[in-house]
Chains A and B, each alone.
Chain A
Amino acid sequence: MKKAYDVIIIGGGVVGCAIAWFLSHFDLKILLLERELDVCCGISKANTGIIHSRSYLTPGTVKGELHQRALSWFPKIEKELDFHPSVTGALTVAFNQDDLNYLKSLKNIGKYDDAEILSPQESLLLEPNLSDRIVATYYDPRAAVASPFRLTLAFAEGAALNGVEFHFDSSVEGFDHQGKKIIVHTPNENYEASYVVNAAGLSSAKIAKKSGDQIPVFSTFKGEYFLLDKESQGLVKKILYPVPNSLSKGILVSPTPEGNILAGPNFESSCADDTSTTSQGLNEVRAGAQKLVPRFPFNQTIQIFAGIRPTLPERDFLIFVSKKHPGLIHLCGIESPGLTASPGIAEYVGELLIQQGLSLKEKDQIIFRKAFPVFHDCDWKKREELIAQDPDWGQIVCRCEEVTLAEVKYALRMNPPARTMDGLKRRIRVTAGRCQGSFCQMHLPSIVMNLLNIGIQDLLKSDKNSNLLVGKTKKVVNTHATPH
C-alpha cells in the first residue's frame, strides 16, 4: 500500500523547508523527502548566511522578483517561527573609480533614504579595521546575518508542528505516472501524490531527468571559508563586501549571529559533491579577506570549510512546471540570494500549484513555533529558573558554546530530530566552538547512544557511513611487539 499525499516536496534544504512551512498553513497532507539523514545538508549547509534585507537585483529576473517578495515575509517569520535575523548593516567597499561608480549605481537602484555613500574617514570610524586604501563605501544599515541552519530548522520545525511529515534517508530513485497521480520511488517506500515539488538543490537536475524532463546544464562552483574564534568578535561589526565581479559577490568579511567572524567565499569550479577545501582556494580567500581587512587574524581560525552553489548560465532561478506531468514542479539554479528569497520562492511555488489545480484552503489555526531556549543566550536569572525546572540545564556538555544536557535532549526529541552529531551541531552548536568537539566529543557519544538507545554502528557524524567509532576496546587482534 502506497502512502498518499497531496504534495510531496523533494529536498530538505532551506527552500524545501520553506515550501513545506508555507504549505503547512493550508489543509493539505504534505510529505518532505530528504536523501540525507537531516535537513540542511546540501547547499544550505555551507553558505555565507546573509539576509539581503534590501534588494539591489536587476528587475525582471525571477530571483529579483522573488527576493522582493521574500522581504515582506520576514515579519511573519519572526512572529510565527520565532526566528530573528541579526541586523548588522553592510559596507560595500570601493578601492578605485570603477568601484566608486558601482557604489553610485547601488545608491541609484536602491534609493533607500538611510543608505549612503561614505568617505574613507567616515567608513573607518564605523569600521576601524577596514583597509585605509578605500576611496569610499556604500553603507546600508539594514543588511542582516542569519544562521542558515537556524532558518532552515525554523521552517522545518514550523512545518512539522503543523503536520508536515519528514522522511529522511529517502533518496528519490524514480517517478511513475498513474493518471493524475505521481508515484515517487525511494529505496524504502513508494509514495503517491497529486503534486510533487523538486527542490533537491544540487540533485534537482538528476531528479528532473528521472521524470523525463530536460533541465539546462548547470555548473557547480565551490566557495571556501575561514571561520574565526569568538575572540575576534568586534573585528568588524558590519558585513564588508567588495564590489562584485561578473562571477559572484566576491569574498566578504562578516560577523556571524553567534559572534564569530566569517571570511569567504571564493568562486572555483567544482564537482557537485566536492566540499573539500583546497590550499589554492583558501589562499584566494586569504587574499580577499586581507584586501578588506589588512590585519585579518588568520591565527584565530577555528575551522575552514566549503560550500557549493549551482549556477545556470543565465544566473537566474529556474522554476517551472514539468512537461511530463502537470503536477510536477522543478526548481533549479537556486544560488544567491536563495537563503533570503526562500519564503518568496515558497509563495511562488504555491501559486504555481494553484495554477496547476491544487486547492489551497487555509487552516483555521496555525501552531506558532517557539524557539527552544539557548542557555548561552539566557541571563543568569533565566538560567537559574531553567535549572530549577530541570537539573539537566545545569549540566554543561559543550564548554566552548555553553550548551547543556537539556538542549541535547531537546534536539534529539524535537521534530525533525537530530540523529547525527552534525544534526546536533546545527541545532545546538556542539562541536561548532573553538575546540571543535575535543571536549564535548568525550561525553556526547555515550550520552547520545544512551538517549537514542543505539549502538556504536549507528552513532554517525553526518551520513550513513560516517561512523564516529568503530568498536569497543578489548577485542585485540595481532599486536606485535618485537625486541629491536
Chain B
Amino acid sequence: MGCSLRVEKDGEKIVVTGAKCKRGSQYAQDEMLNPKRTVTTTVVVLNGEIRRLPVRTKKPFPLRRVSELIQFLSTIEVEAPVQVGQVIATNCLGEGVDIIATRTILRRSK
C-alpha cells in the first residue's frame, strides 16, 4: 500500500519524485508547507446510550492548529440522539472544516 516519495526543497520550490499519482505529489507539497491531518476524538454526549460520541474532521485540518481544535472540542456537549454523519460543528476555528459524528447514538432509555 502506498509509495515512497522523495521531497526536496530547491530554493523556494518543492520537488517531489517517486509519486505514483498526482494526489501523492500534492500530498507531499502540503506535508512540507502546511501539513494537514484528519483529526478524530470524542466529545461529550448527554443522555445517550453511551457517554462519548466519536467525531472526525470532515476534511484534513491544519496540523499546527490541532491543539486548539482539541481544546475547542473538549468544550462541546452534544445531546442524544445523534446520527452518524451529523454535523456537530461547522468551519472550526475558521479553517473551513466541519466536525461530524462517526457513530449513531440513540437516546438512553430510562
Contacts and interface: CB of A to CB of B under 8 A. Distances in A.
The answer to whether A binds B is yes
Contacts of A481: 63-64, 66-67
B29 interface: no
A476 B71 contact: yes
Interface in B21-70: 35, 42-44, 52, 63-64, 66-67, 70
A483 interface: yes
Interface in A443-484: 473-476, 479-484
B86 interface: no
A479 B67 contact: yes
Contacts of A476: 70-71, 74
A260 to B, nearest CB: 35
Contact of A473 (B35, B52, B64): B52
A479 B70 CA distance: 8
A373 B74 CA distance: 45
**Size range of the chain B interface in the assembly:** 10 to 19
A154 to B, nearest CB: 39
Nearest to B67: A479
Contacts of A473: 42, 52
Interface in A113-158: none
A480 B67 contact: yes
A482 B71 contact: no
Nearest to A474: B74
A436 B42 CA distance: 27
Contacts of B64: 481-483
B44 A474 contact: yes
Interface of A: 473-476, 479-484
The 7 tightest CB contacts between A and B, nearest first, are A481-B66, A479-B67, A474-B74, A476-B74, A483-B35, A479-B70, A483-B63
17 contacts: A473-B42, A474-B42, A474-B43, A474-B74, A475-B74, A476-B71, A476-B74, A479-B66, A479-B67, A479-B70, A480-B67, A481-B63, A481-B64, A481-B66, A481-B67, A482-B63, A482-B64
